[in-house]
Amino acid sequence: MTKTRKHKVMPVEAIERIIAAMPQPPKVEHNPAEAFYSIGLDTVSVPPANQFDSAEEYYSTLFHELVHSTGHDSRLQRPSLSRIAQGSDHLYSYEELVAEMGAAMLCGLTGIAPKTIDNSAAYIANWLQSLRDNPDYVIYAGAAAQKACRYIKGERNRARKSNR
């Protein structure tokens, strides 16, 4: 994911338009150490774009964290995000699946999926192992990921509040 070498990464216009359309977006900070979403601070943190091998990898990571942020109480109120702090591995796996599926959907929408799909598929397969006892969660995660994508794209009317 992150590299120490520095190189110029050009913003992809379609992606920047989608990010700009997100209502009530979280604060986005560049942190050279890691990518994460802080629910308490409502902040997405990602390494600077020039630490990634490509713009596609940067935006895929940013999309992943933005999908997490849609679960915040001020947005779609996804219980899997708010209850992760209770220490449930099952909820953490589910939330990671939602975030990666949503990121893959947004990458597909913006045309960068062919360059990021292998990483997404491997990441999703890993989290699916944690949910193998309840395969229905894949369906729920897909629906939650789609709602998150609609929210990020600014389609608030279609991104109804999720109960899962």
- State the pLDDT at residue 61: 95
- State the pLDDT at residue 122: 74
- State the pLDDT at residue 114: 62
Q: Give a yes or no: residue 7 inside a domain.
A: no
Q: Give a yes or no: residue 67 inside a domain.
A: yes
- State the pLDDT at residue 119: 73
Q: Give a yes or no: residue 5 inside a domain.
A: no
Q: Give a yes or no: residue 8 inside a domain.
A: no
The alpha-carbon radius of gyration of the chain (Å, integer) is: 15
- State the pLDDT at residue 164: 43
Boundaries of domain holding 96 = 13-152
The domain tally of the chain equals 1
- pLDDT per position in the chain (164 positions), as tens? 544 555 455 568 888 989 999 999 999 999 988 999 999 999 999 999 999 988 889 999 999 999 999 999 999 999 888 777 666 677 888 898 899 999 999 988 888 876 667 776 776 676 666 667 777 888 899 999 999 999 999 997 666 544 44
Q: Give a yes or no: residue 131 inside a domain.
A: yes
- State the pLDDT at residue 82: 76
